[in-house]
């Protein structure tokens, strides 16, 4: 049974802390059995905003966990307590997977665990993190960064993205999707803090492209052009571009490309379709084209992505569906 310890001291943010408790501290053995052995670790009773938490163990217990999670640090102008930093360093030295949510990255950085590594935090604090810790490569655009032994998330909702990513790594994509449905959240969001804002499907509503977005999503396998979209929307290409920029923050073709990649990821996670079939289904044409664009956007080739996110969900001999 994997063990998860939440490092808690005065000065943490209750949203990220509660989120981690909900994901890892709930009894979800009806979905995955065994689930996680979860514990709160801190220097005695801790005050979090209006809440008072009783700890299961002291901070020294962090060194016995497989995964240590540091929730958001409320005041980034205040140095984390020395006892927390010492405990975090000891846990990392003992081989724990270290995870920060939102501004918890300031704790990991103060402990020296992010030196020479890529990391992220809430977009409103990325500049401060970079200035305070110049040895850290701060990426302001991603939802989370996975360095293997050290992982950091962007702000608020991105903490959930990282928690579900951990579940996918430990228990497979299918089970992570079940947990996401239980929590009524997306199981997987692509892109980063800025990119996510620019590529989602706008909520249905009273805007000129309300009917166009679902029309596009039903035809991702077709070789759509800007002219096709403009004709369907009954407006000029220039007018269409202005509406797209206003609603999604990007161009029609860039948005369409993001939806094709998103759909390819879903098919890689949930089907045994070959890469050629997925390329056709997503409108990429050939497996070569899909591989090139997928690798450039996601960071890994499609077959690697499939092995990563389905290895736990589909035990046993693996079939090569990449050809």
Active site residues: 102
Contact between 70 and 88 under an 8 Å Cβ cutoff? The reply is: yes
Q: In the beta sheet, which residues pair with residue 38?
A: 4
How far is it, in rounded angstroms, from Cα 188 to Cα 168? Answer: 10
Contact between 122 and 106 under an 8 Å Cβ cutoff? The reply is: no
Contact between 74 and 105 under an 8 Å Cβ cutoff? The reply is: no
Q: In the beta sheet, which residues pair with residue 192?
A: 142
Contact between 212 and 229 under an 8 Å Cβ cutoff? The reply is: yes
Contact between 66 and 96 under an 8 Å Cβ cutoff? The reply is: yes
Instruction: Using DSSP, state whether 200 is helix, strand or coil.
Output: coil
Q: Which residues contact 264 (CB under 8 A, 6 or more apart)?
A: 278, 279, 282, 284, 290, 294, 302
How far is it, in rounded angstroms, from Cα 140 to Cα 194? Answer: 8
Element housing 37 (H / E):
strand 37-41
């Amino acid at each position: 049974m994997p063990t998860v310890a939440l490092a808690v001291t005065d000065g943490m943010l209750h949203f990220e802390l509660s989120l981690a408790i909900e994901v890892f501290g709930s009894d979800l053995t009806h979905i995955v059995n065994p689930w996680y052995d979860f514990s709160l670790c801190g220097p005695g009773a801790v005050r979090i905003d209006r809440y008072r938490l009783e700890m299961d163990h002291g901070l020294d217990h962090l060194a016995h966990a497989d995964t240590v999670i540091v929730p958001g640090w409320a005041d980034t102008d205040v140095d984390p307590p020395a006892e927390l930093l010492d405990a975090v360093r000891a846990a990392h030295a003992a081989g724990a997977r270290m995870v920060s949510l939102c501004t918890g990255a300031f704790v990991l950085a103060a402990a020296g665990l992010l030196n020479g590594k890529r990391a992220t935090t809430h977009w409103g604090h990325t500049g401060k993190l970079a200035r305070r810790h110049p040895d850290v490569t701060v990426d302001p655009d991603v939802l989370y960064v996975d360095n293997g032994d050290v992982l950091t998330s962007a702000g608020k909702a991105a903490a959930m993205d990282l928690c579900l990513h951990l579940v996918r790594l430990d228990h497979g994509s299918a089970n992570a999707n079940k947990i996401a449905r239980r929590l009524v959240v997306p199981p997987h969001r692509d892109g980063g803090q800025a990119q996510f804002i620019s590529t989602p499907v706008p909520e249905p509503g009273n805007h000129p492209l309300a009917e166009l977005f679902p029309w596009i999503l039903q035809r991702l396998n077709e070789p759509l052009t800007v002219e096709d979209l403009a004709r369907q929307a009954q407006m000029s290409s220039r007018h269409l571009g202005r509406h797209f920029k206003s609603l999604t923050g990007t161009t029609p073709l860039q948005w369409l490309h993001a939806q094709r990649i998103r759909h390819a990821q879903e098919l890689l996670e949930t089907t045994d379709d070959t890469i050629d079939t997925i390329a056709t289904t997503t409108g990429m044409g050939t497996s070569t084209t899909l591989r090139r664009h997928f690798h450039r956007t996601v960071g890994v080739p499609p077959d690697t992505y499939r092995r990563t996110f389905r290895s736990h969900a589909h035990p046993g001999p693996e079939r090569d569906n990449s050809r």
